[in-house]
Amino acid sequence: MTDTPATAAETFPIERLREFSTRVFAACGVPEEDAALAAGVLASADLRGIDTHGVARLPQYHEMFEQGRINPRPNIHAVRESPATATVDGDNGLGLVVGPRANEMAMEKAERVGTGWVAVRNSNHFGAGEYYPLQGLPRGLIVWAMTNSPPQVAPLWGAEKMLGTNPISIAFPGMEEPAVVIDFTTSAIAFGKVEHAARKGATIPAGTAIDRDGRMTTDPREMLDGGALLPLGGDAEHGGHKGYCLAAMVDLLAAALPGANWGPFPPPFPAHLPEPPRSVGLGVGHMFGAFRIDAFADPAEFRRQVDDWVRTMRSTRPAAGTTGPIIPGDPNRRAEETRREHGVPVIRPVVEALERVAAATGVPFR
């Protein structure tokens, strides 16, 4: 998920970025505790090299608050609940608050009864997916997080955006080896890569996007001009039906089940995206699932197995011209090591956007 900044960057200590975000959320009317929680989700992404989901998003959240599209003081509450399950209504609160609260419920349920599943409606963008499973690791929990999102992806053989990039995240703790941290969108390519290629006048890989008539294109501008991303796999002969199935699975579980807007209908984020043609539920949806490891296995033995799995995958004979497989989560862990020590590089356009947020809110950025 790491994207090396293409332009000049200024470096900030993570605590500075976290504090700025906390104070901006507070200035938007978010209670202190929630503001700190939300800022922590952004800071986690910044630390771990997911530059698209960290402080760079703060201006978009700020804009959503400015337009009254997010409720700063939501009454987040369960509308159905049992010891192992719940459906939560986020009351149109910040996804960076609704997500962590619902995930906490799922984790507490798992701690009490072995597994906990919490479906969420009436939320919005919940930040980087890996944040949620990372919370489970120190508690001996395997946490699974899914969310739907505004439409960017065409179903196989479709010519328009009907599904979000609908990410899936899950993590498994090792004993001596670092955790396996899985976090991926179910589209063939990230929308950010298409935007990046368009800015640079570059092409995108064949089989990752279509134009407005549903024809494959390598021209990012054709995707942006009424086209769509393809689901993971691309076309039918490369398994595009599987990516479509994955996006559908997330959409039906994380949005249709709790009563959120599914398919092409989630509300826009950022605010300048087009309004959907109709509403079929409340906000966007998430699904959090947690497993207490000792409900299934001896935790120490399982962690040793994860260590063995990690070492086994690393010892795979490398493909010609590569240094061999990495482990899911490696790039983010390395980014975290570097950035804890040396700070977080923030590219110039993001610094400028944050300065505008500082001016608008009166929260000093420097």
Q: Which of residues 318-357 bind a copy of itself (CB under 8 A)?
A: 318-320, 322-326, 328
User: Cβ of residue 115: shortest distance to a copy of itself, in angstroms?
Assistant: 5
Nearest in space to 28 (alpha carbons), one of 65, 76, 73: 65
243 contacts a copy of itself (rule: CB under 8 A):
yes
253 binds a copy of itself per the rule CB under 8 A = yes
Distance CA 303, CA 296 (A): 12
222 binds a copy of itself (CB under 8 A): no
By the rule CB under 8 A, 248 interacts with a copy of itself = yes
Smaller CB separation from a copy of itself, 188 or 357: 188
- What DSSP string runs through 99-112? HHHHHHHHHHHHHH
| Position 43 contacts a copy of itself (CB under 8 A) | no
In the complex, minimum distance from the CB of residue 210 to a copy of itself, in angstroms, rounded to a whole number = 7
Q: Which two tokens stand for residue 181?
A: 């941290």
Which of these segments, 16-24, 45-53, 89-97, 317-325, binds a copy of itself (CB under 8 A)?
Answer: 317-325
CA-wise closest residue to 242 among 155, 164, 308, 315: 155
Strands 209-210 and 228-229, bridge-based pairing: antiparallel
Contact residue for a copy of itself among 172, 191, 269, 288 (CB under 8 A): 172
Sign of CA dihedral 266, 29, 192, 41: negative
Give the span between the Cα atoms of 322 and 311, in whole angstroms. 17
95 binds a copy of itself (CB under 8 A): no
The DSSP call for residue 257 is T
CA pseudo-torsion sign 288, 79, 283, 71: negative
Minimum CB–partner distance for residue 43 and a copy of itself (Å): 24
CB atoms within 10 A of CB 52: 15
Name which of 258, 291, 280, 290 is nearest 80 in CA terms.
Answer: 258
CB of 317 to a copy of itself, least distance (A): 5
Query: Pick from 69, 139, 238, 334: which binds a copy of itself (CB under 8 A)?
Result: 238
Which residue among 281, 333, 343, 360 contacts a copy of itself (CB under 8 A)? Answer: 281
Cβ at position 334, least distance to a copy of itself in Å: 15
d(CA 42, CA 50): 9
Of 160, 177, 219, 336, the residue at the interface with a copy of itself (CB under 8 A) is 160
Applying CB under 8 A, which of residues 85, 135, 152, 361 lies at the interface with a copy of itself? 85
CB of residue 199 to a copy of itself, shortest distance in Å? 18
CB of 249 or CB of 360, closer to a copy of itself: 249
Among 40, 140, 158, 178, binds a copy of itself (CB under 8 A): 158
CB of 106 to a copy of itself, least distance (A): 11
Comparing CB distances to a copy of itself, the nearer of 54 and 234 is 234
Q: Which stretch binds a copy of itself (CB under 8 A): 18-26, 122-130, 150-158, 354-362?
A: 150-158
- The two tokens of residue 46 are 């910044």
Q: Closest by alpha carbon to 167, among 140, 198, 194, 133?
A: 133
- Least distance CB 365 / a copy of itself (angstroms): 35
Q: Which residues in 5-23 are b (16+ Cβ under 10 Å) and which e?
A: eeeebeebebebbbbbbbb
- 63 vs 235, beta carbon nearer a copy of itself: 235
**Strand 115-123 relative to strand 344-347: parallel, antiparallel, unpaired?**
unpaired
Using DSSP, state whether 42 is helix, strand or coil: helix
d(CA 182, CA 212): 32
